[in-house]
Structure 1
Amino acid sequence: MSAVASPPLAGGAPGARRTPWRQPSVLPGFGVTLGYTIFYLSLIVLIPLVALFLKTATLTWDQFIAATTSARVLAAYKVSFGASFAAAFVNLFAGLLVAWVLVRYRFPGRRFIDALVDLPFALPTAVAGIALTALYAPNGWIGQYLEPLGIKVAFKPLGIVVALIFIGLPFVVRTVQPVLEEAERELEEAAAMLGATRWQTFRHVIFPTVLPALLTGFSLAFARAIGEYGSVIFIAGNLPMVSEIGPLIIITKLEQYDYAGATAVATVMLGVSFVLLFVINLLQAWQAKRSGSAGSGRK
C-alpha cells in the first residue's frame, strides 16, 4: 500500500516545515515582501528619524539643554501636551457617544452624519483653523455670546483645545464604531434579564469590550494633536508663554536658520510622545490580556 503524499504547504515546497514566524500565505514571496517592507519603512520612517537625532547630536550638551529648556520652550511644551491630552480625553467620551448613536440607532440623516465624521480628515487644516477662528473670535457667531460671559476661546489655550477636538474626533469614532457593530447584543439582553441596571450593563458588559478600542483611539487622537499645526496656528493667537505651541517654536527656529535648535526641540517632543504612547500601548495590552483571561475563566 503506497503512502499518500502530503499536500504542499502554502508558500513552500511539499513537506516543508512550518516555522512559527513564517505562516502560510496566499501570496508567495516572503523574503521579497519582508525586504520591501523593511526598506519602505526605513526610507519613510527610520531614516528621517535618524537624521533628526544626528542633527541634534551636533549640539553640545549645554547647547541642547539651553535650546530645549528655556522658559518659552517649556511653556510651549506645556501648551502642546496639555491641550493635546485634554482634547484626546474629551474625544474619548464624545467619540464613544457619536459611535454609539451611529451604530445603535436608525434615524433620518444617519448616513449624512456618518459621512460628516470624516470631514476633518478631508478638510485642509488651514481651512479648519480659519473657520474655527471665525466662529469663536470675540465678534464671531459663537464668540460674541461667550465674550460677555467671560469665556474667551479664540487666541487662548482653550481655542487650541477646541481645534484639537475637531481634528481628533474621527480617530476615536472610527476606532470604536467597528467594535460596537461586532459586539454581541445577546450579552446585554442576558444581563438585563438577570436584573442588571443600564449602568451595570454598560460597566460590566459594554465598557470592557470597547475599552481597548477607546485606548487606541485616544492614542491616535493624542499623537495627531501633538503635531497639529495648520488648524491651531490661526486660533491660538501664538502669544509667547500663553498660547504658543511646540510646532510653532520649531518653525520659528527654522526661519532663524537654527536647524540644530529646531531638531533639538523636535527630539524632545518626539521622545515625550513616544513615552506617552508606549504607556498607553502597555495599558491597552494589559487590558486585552485581562479581557482574554476573563473570557477563558468564564469558559
Structure 2
Amino acid sequence: MPARAQGKPVLTSRDHERVRTLVLDRPEALNAFNEQLYDELTEALLAAAADPGVAVVLLTGNGRAFCAGTDLKEMHRRSTDPAFVPGKHGFTGLVDALAAFPKPLVVAVNGLAVGIGLTVLGFADLAFAADDARLKCPFTSLGVAPEAASSYLLPRLIGRQNAAWILLSADWVSAREAREMGLVWKTCAPGDLIETAERHCATLAARPVSSLRAVKESMVAPLRADIAAARERENAYFAELMGGPANLEALTAFAEGREPDFTRIPE
C-alpha cells in the first residue's frame, strides 16, 4: 500500500515544567481530524507516555474550535474512493492510545467540540471548557453508531439520560449544561481557559509521576474490560452502518451543503 503524503504538521507541542501541551492545529478545518492528525496525536500521546520528563498532558485546540470531529470530506472520500490510503494509526489507534495513556490527561475545550471532540472527554481525567463552548455527538445525524467507548463512558460519567440525549439527539450542549452534567469539571471565560487549565496541570505535575501513574491505573484498571467490550460493539455497528444508505445520504448532503433527508431511507 502506498504511503500517505504528509503536509505541514497539524499538531503542535510545547513543554513547561513537566506539562506537555498538545494543540490540535488545523484551525482552517476547525481542527477536524483527518488521517494525518489522527496519526500525529497518537504518536504524541505514545511519546508523552514514554517520556519520564512528562508528568501531565494538556490537550486543546488552536482557533475558534477545540475539534469539529472527523473530517467529513475525507470521510466521504474514504467511503467512496477505493484508492483512499488510510493513515498509520487512524481513529482506532488514537482511541487505543487514549485508553492506555498512563498519566493524567487534561482537556481544555475551546469553542466547538464535535464527535471525537466530545467523546475524548470520556478518557480525560480533568476537563475544562470555555463559557462559549458548544459540544455534540453527531452520530445519528451521520447515520452511524457511537465511537470511542462513549456508549459506556458517557453514561458512567454523566448518567444514562444525559448520555442518551447526547448520543441519540445529535443536538448541541452548552458549556453550562456540560458542567451541570459533569461532562466538564469547570468552565471559565474564554480568555482564562488555558491559564486555568495550566494552573491545575502545574499542581498535578508537582507530584511524583510514579504516584500519578499509580492513582490513574487504580482508577482505570477496573474499567478496561468494559471499555474494550463497548468499543467492540460500537465498531461492529459502525462498520455495518458506514457507507450504508443513511451514512451516504448524510455525507452527500454535507458535500452539497444541504440538510440530510433520512425519511425515505428504509430501516
Calculate the TM-score normalised by the size of structure 2: 0.27
More helix by share: 1
> Over alpha carbons, which structure has the higher Rg?
1
More strand by share: 2
